[in-house]
Chain A
């Protein structure tokens, strides 16, 4: 498939994306296409550039070079087609829960319309809060809610906008293990009902596999034909790409043999700094997966995207 065709047929398309901060190359030659309806989790060791990738897709930062398309359009700045749930700072502390949830409706309109349509906006937001089990807390402030409840509000707040992609950066990272599992099930049920596209960044292997219909492994631990000279800088790239069955499963599945085997493999190829797989030998099994390699990276190997 040509890259133009990929740009148009995939909701999210990244090709040859590079990002560095000063001398440090963080992301290198990232190739990633995501189809609509995918719950795509991105996992990788800490410091591998997951959050950088997240900010690039958001348009919060610009890539050094490369192509980055959302729904066939190049990404410039943050826009309304991408909704966000952060680990923190997703809710506005000075607004009540319902006011936070209503923002997607109240922010784009002026003072008069905001007040005229207040009841309508409130009703719509209430509907989402009910689904999140938070109707009783509508008039509380975020600081009066537990961490898990705050993240439910944040998800409702983003969903009301009906974004093309819901971007989540370690959204459950600050929660205790039990709340975290509840939130994972909540998110899966929402995803099943809406079949929305989710880009879910996490450092938690089990979370990535349990949630994802696709798991993308980002890592700086790999090798290629450029050798190990002092001038060779390597940033993280996609070193593994797995398709997974899509079904809300009991969390017991996390203890099944298949689940553990996959977690072990990802840990092996992505997290172990002593295991350096060659760029031509990555496990890129997902049907949407593709890879572009430069001459230097894979000498003598002909691989077309």
Chain B
């Protein structure tokens, strides 16, 4: 068996072609390691000073989770984590959703129609260089501190990236496909929306996956500054009391939501766009 071949029988290629076994175990290893280091350090600090707030124990965090997520708030009667999550998801969903739709329509038209590209491409490129957080004050001043400014911030951060990438993607559709569609009786709109659009949809989904990280950053920044609920608002609110027992589960929750979205979108591509997976792998 090749696996049992004595060393030196064939030139070593290091780990380049080494087979991978125990995938799940390998993937879990860094997580386990970080958790172990944390709980060890937490245990050490709490043993020294039971009032320490910096590295809460599992029990303290479970207590906080129960308080935030499983019991209604004594003042408002709401489940805080649920209210925060719903508020944040609404904002990020609206912001990313509108940005994806606008980016798709603008990107595909810029990619396929030279005149639209000449008109808008330099402008979109310029806008994409504006640091979104730098215009957050402008948004608050002009749009108010309500939902609109937060959604607008996410939109402005995500939209130019998607529009520019989809412009490139639709420009890369072979010219032959377009000519052929016309010989088969397609109008300009049929070429854009029935030949090219379905082909860049999976690329749009991949784009949204990549943009979600940035979108969360914009969301939490906006919520931290002006809000009355939301995951970012809560994290920055309880920071005043050094409530690490709340902050850590919240951060973990935000990360888990982001990871699930990414996973769901990936599954969507794998199931609905087999041809795309075949072309890109």
Contact = CB atoms under 8 A, between A and B. Distances in A.
Interface of A: 58, 60, 77-80, 82-84, 86, 88-90, 92-94, 103-104, 107-108, 141-144, 157-158, 161, 163
A24 B186 CA distance: 34
A80 B199 contact: no
Residue among B185, B198, B199, B273 with the most chain A CB within 10 A? B185
B197 to A, nearest CB: 10
A162 to B, nearest CB: 11
Contacts of A142: 275
Contact of B275 (A80, A83, A86, A93): A93
Contacts of A84: 176, 179-180, 183
Contacts of B180: 84, 86, 89-90
B89 to A, nearest CB: 30
28 contacts: A58-B183, A77-B182, A78-B182, A79-B182, A79-B183, A80-B183, A82-B183, A83-B183, A84-B176, A84-B183, A92-B195, A92-B199, A93-B279, A94-B275, A103-B181, A104-B184, A107-B181, A107-B184, A107-B185, A107-B186, A107-B194, A108-B185, A141-B274, A141-B278, A143-B278, A143-B279, A157-B184, A161-B185
B8 interface: no
Interface in B141-200: 174-177, 179-187, 190, 194-195, 198-199
Nearest to B186: A107
A58 B176 CA distance: 11
A92 B198 CA distance: 10
- Give the top 3 A-B pairs by smallest Cβ distance, nearest first: A108-B185, A89-B176, A89-B174
A78 B198 contact: no
Mostly, the B contact residues are helix
B140 interface: no
Interface residues of B, number: 24
Interface of B: 174-177, 179-187, 190, 194-195, 198-199, 273-276, 278-279
A92 B274 CA distance: 13
B35 to A, nearest CB: 43
Nearest to A102: B184
A80 B181 CA distance: 9
A293 to B, nearest CB: 33
B279 A107 contact: no
A89 B184 CA distance: 14
Given A89-B177, A92-B177, A141-B275, A80 B198 contact: no
Given A79-B182, A86-B176, A94-B273, 4 more contacts: A89-B177, A108-B186, A158-B183, A161-B183
B180 to A, nearest CB: 5
A78 B177 contact: no
A88 B174 CA distance: 10
Q: Which of A60, A77, A142, A157 has the most CB of B within 10 A?
A: A60
A149 B53 CA distance: 68
B173 to A, nearest CB: 9
Contacts of A108: 184-187, 190
A107 B183 CA distance: 10
A77 B190 CA distance: 17
Contacts of B181: 103, 107
Nearest to A154: B180
Contacts of B275: 93-94, 141-143
A142 B195 CA distance: 15
A70 to B, nearest CB: 12
B278 A78 contact: no
Contacts of A79: 182-183
A83 B184 CA distance: 7
A21 to B, nearest CB: 16
A60 B185 CA distance: 15
Contacts of A92: 177, 195, 199
